[in-house]
Amino acid sequence: MQKPAPETASIAAGAASALGASTCCVLPLVLVSLGFGGAWIAQLRALERFQWLFIGLAAAAFGYAFYRLYLRPAPCAPGAECAAPATRRNQRIAFWITLVTAKAVLLAPFYVPYLLG
C-alpha cells in the first residue's frame, strides 16, 4: 500500500483541523442533524479553548498543501501515477474545494447568527 502524497495528507490534515476548530459551533449541529445525540455532544464545548490552535494547524496544513501543489511540486518518476497531469489537477481541485469548505466552517460563528435572524 502506497503512503499518500504530501499534498493529499496536508489537505486531509487541514480539513480535520478545520473540523476540530468548529467543535464549539458547527460540529454539534452536524452531529445532531445526522442523528447522533446524547449529553456527550454538549461536552464538545470544552474544546472551544483550543479553537485557535486548530485554526493555526489548519492554516499551516493548507499553506503546506498550496506550497507543494503550486510553488514546489514533488518530482515524479516517468510513468508513475503522479506524473499524469490528471492526478495533479484532481489534487488541486480537491485542495480548493476543501479550502473553501473549511473557511465556511471556520467562519460559521460569524455569519450563522445573521442567517438565523
Please check the confidence at residue 117 and state whether its pLDDT lies above 80. no
Distance CA 112, CA 115 (A): 5
* Residue 68, amino acid: R
pTM score: 0.78
Cell 492526478, residue?
87
Neighbours of 50 (CB within 10 A): 14
Mean pLDDT within 51-57 = 87
Mean pLDDT within 49-62 = 88
The answer to whether 10 touches 62, Cβ cutoff 8 Å, is yes
The answer to whether 29 touches 80, Cβ cutoff 8 Å, is no
